[in-house]
Chain A
Amino acid sequence: MEAALSELTPEADVPVVFVKQRKIGGHGSILKAYQEGRLQKLLKMNDSEDLPESYDYDLVIIGGGSGGLAAAKEAAKYDKKVMVLDFVTPTPLGTRWGLGGTCVNVGCIPKKLMHQAALLGQALRDSRNYGWEVEETVKHDWEKMTEAVQNHIGSLNWGYRVALREKKVVYENAYGQFIGPHRIKATNNKGKEKIYSAERFLIATGERPRYLGIPGDKEYCISSDDLFSLPYCPGKTLVVGASYVALECAGFLAGIGLDVTVMVRSILLRGFDQDMANKIGEHMEEHGVKFIRQFVPIKVSRVACRFVDSILMLKGKKRVVLMVAASFSALTGKIPVTDEEQTNVPYIYAIGDVLEDKLELTPVAIQAGRLLAQRLYAGSTVKVRLTSFVSLPSGIMGLSCLLANVYHSYFWPLEWTVPSRDNNKCYAKVVCNIKDNERVVGFHVLGPNAGEVTQGFAAALKCGLTKKQLDNTIGIHPVCAEVFTTLSVTKRSGGSILQTGC
């Protein structure tokens, strides 16, 4: 028996004792732990009450965003008792929102809707060239747009509450805090506290925007948390930051006709292919967005009516003009996890933006949440696997220029020809590994509907797409995406990639 035991656990003497899923060891080790007082400590665990006899819930999820809700709905499928605690700490301005997390309330969804508003402004201008009798200048009503966007978000919040109810997931609008092993305290916005116990926990609290830490930042500045529900038009805006959040916000604010400046400390879109990042910056500048490069704000204050260069002072009868879009930081610092999303505490897991070193994207969080629930309750062993992404620069793939053929081209969307707009601005690029049959390892596109174009190629890349296969594929005509089936000029050759039309 000792031999069998020593196979299962590298221990020689019996009994082998486990406390709270942690192995203490054989008889000798137990005695030692007791003598040193470690055993008692283990059993007590932070001087709190003993372990609950039974748990209120199989799973308590802290955070009702993309990851948390996906996990909740999946776990409920396996008849588990699940609770979701979701709470939004108001911003310095006082903004708050409902169930659904960042993506739904202050991220992907409102961002894309406001982006669409900006695109529609452009469409109004184009439509004149196509025969539509629209006035030359059309004014934009911020309040009308924001109301429409918030109504849609409200319907999504409602939809989530209904979905959770239908799946018998308990939802509480309360702030969750750990108070002991397997126990959590939930505080609602009236201050009422309740205590729950659960066999397992999932932290999916995501992140919030970071403030600059300069005088006046919290009093006078807003962040993406506030922008999408701002009850008045932001007017002349300074966006501080160079992330995709900064540029996307600056983009649509300029698109609806506002005077926008972006203040960048060093480079645009750190971590993205810099060739593409610079093209984006150029395009934005050509379309009226001003950039102040290599400056950082040091002070923000309210002033009656002057704009002075040396210190940033902003005019405003209203509170807001400065937008902070710097990088984000988690509530309590990011959480490192194993590749099965387990934290250092065996029964506590974490997914989504709150994780250290993971891609901060809704679909990643959703997949992680779903797969985790399947591993915990449905006996699955599948883990999250990511494909190469548009945004990864060739540097990160470890490919030096010598090993890669980079094919590229400008293209002109047919729809932009009639209004004579932006010729040779849209850009397509693929990076191919010379040492591996010219396998496509990188894909970049700058142009309308970039997301729609890229999705299919992401799937193709996953399947090992090579340049030859790209070349042998018939393009769909006339669409922007077909440019990828006719790339022939490499960057190295220096050949011209200007386009002259079909």
Chain B
Amino acid sequence: VAMAAALRGPGARFRWRLAAAGRGPRGGVRTAGPGQRDYDLLVIGGGSGGLACAKEAAQLGRRVAVVDYVEPSPRGTRWGLGGTCVNVGCIPKKLMHQAALLGGMIRDARHYGWEVAQPVQHSWRKMAEAVQNHVKSLNWGHRVQLQDRKVKYFNVKASFVNEHTVCGVTKDGKETLLSADNIVIATGGRPRYPTHIEGALEYGITSDDIFWLKESPGKTLVVGASYVALECAGFLTGIGLDTTVMIRSIPLRGFDQQMSSLVTEHMASHGTRFLRGCTPSQVRRLPAGRLQVTWEDRTSGKEDTDTFDTVLWAVGRVPETRSLNLEKSGVKTSPDSQKILVDSRDATSVPHIYAIGDVAEGRPELTPTAIMAGRLLAQRLFGQSAALMDYDNVSAPAGAGPARERVSCPRVRMVCLREPPQLVLGLHFLGPNAGEVTQGFALGIRCGASYAQVMRTVGIHPTCSEEVVRLRISKRSGLDPTVTGC
């Protein structure tokens, strides 16, 4: 320990690590004790959860390192620091959604007196470049932030050597060893390929690729019924592309089914084609380069086929645990989902190793949840806090394509307990700016809002959200809920 103290300082640490690496990655690694290890906290995965945790711990004065690495997609797509949300999730998705909404607004503009020549063409290239540039600025922003907070960042692919040590490999194959008292696994997930379908891996793409395409995807088949599938199909339709969604059974499993069908109806009325009850069996590449997809209609039993420029698989996500060498650390995963098993303190089966975000079993796969979990974890580890994460009452938006802004009213449903004071249990809202509308009500529900309290709130007029405080008709009554105007 005395020698370790004497060697403290940036140069000293570097020498020590080189010495350790010099002995080879596997053999002869000196097992360091607490306080002698390189870091107080090592975070594996530089996404929403990982970065939040790392920055919070650094703010509490700890020595923190983040290792982040993006295994290229089968198509070769890769990206920078920031994780799924920033690079291939929330951010580019919403920007492309905005592009689609703007298409609708251009059409509306004529009705409001704007002299726009119609129809207007859309350039995928221009949009993709703008979106990709913004994402890159966020990658940069995150790197600067880590630097400012004195968090060490390594762009290396990590795997466990033992429960306190991780081996990181750079793109060029160089290896480093990193040890830490505490480790947080926040590697998230990646899209699943249906490898049992012939041609799926070779010819299809996923959400990992769509946002980074330089050329337009053209006529696209989206396979899947998740919000990822519907959101992508939505904005593709909105920018004018021929889009089909193939769904095996029901749309948006896990969401309120009445709202889900309203979503798909809306999308269909705006030009997205749906193939319900169908499963693809084969994807072939034609001589000219287009893709021929064959599928089976489960109700009729018949086979059908069509040609597309792009096939986008949106059939679920798998946790990034396969290449971590978890057995070396003793961390257990769920046999069904492969996700890491955690308790209410986000601890894995190994006491000083934690897991947060999409990679953890039983957690909602949402950025704000991961961020909050990361921060609270850092506070519990280093900040004398005992606060646990509350995973209940989390609201999530599911964008489904351009919605027209109308003064008349959206679909709203509020679910309340029957017995007085009729506490509000849930709120569903289908309409423009659904996320903006719902956030405040989420707060209200957290505060134990009752139906009466919501009804006594004066509406802000004219907005769509005021419909929530005007809900008078119950489903049970059977009355017509259509609103006819101001």
The residues of A with any CB-CB pair to B shorter than 8 Å are 100, 103-104, 108-109, 112-113, 116-117, 120-121, 123-124, 126-127, 129-135, 138-146, 148, 152, 155-156, 159, 163, 256, 361-364, 367, 385-387, 389-390, 414-415, 417-418, 449, 451-460, 462-466, 469-470, 472-482, 484-485, 500-502
Contact = CB atoms under 8 A, between A and B. Distances in A.
Nearest to B367: A477
B396 A387 contact: no
A145 B111 CA distance: 7
B459 A455 contact: yes
Nearest to A362: B461
Contact of A463 (B102, B368, B448, B485): B448
Contact of A452 (B131, B367, B436): B436
Chain B contact-residue range equals 35 or more
Most chain B C-beta atoms within 10 Å of own C-beta, residue among A146, A390, A459, A462 = A459
B32 interface: no
B436 A460 contact: no
A415 B438 CA distance: 18
A contact face: mostly helix, strand, loop, or mixed: helix
Interface stretch (B118-126, B205-213, B336-344): B118-126
B85 interface: yes
A437 B195 CA distance: 55
Given A456-B443, A479-B397, 20 more contacts: A100-B486, A108-B462, A117-B113, A133-B123, A156-B486, A387-B458, A389-B458, A390-B460, A454-B465, A455-B437, A455-B460, A456-B437, A460-B441, A462-B454, A478-B94, A478-B435, A480-B436, A501-B138, A501-B141, A502-B138
Contacts of B369: 474
A456 B439 contact: yes
B306 to A, nearest CB: 27
B198 interface: no
B433 A452 contact: yes
Contacts of B114: 117, 120-121, 124, 138-141
Contacts of B123: 131-133
Contacts of B141: 500-501
A256 B112 CA distance: 10
Contacts of A155: 485
B117 interface: yes
A100 B397 CA distance: 36
B130 A129 contact: yes
A129 B103 CA distance: 12
Contacts of A148: 111-113
A481 B116 CA distance: 32
Smallest CB-CB A-B distances: 8 pairs = A456-B440, A131-B127, A145-B113, A481-B439, A479-B435, A455-B465, A456-B441, A457-B440
Interface string B185-210: 00000000000000000000000000
Contact of B102 (A126, A458, A500): A126
A414 B137 CA distance: 13
A367 B106 CA distance: 37
B436 A112 contact: no
A459 B124 contact: no
Given A132-B122, A452-B464, A453-B436, A463 B458 contact: no
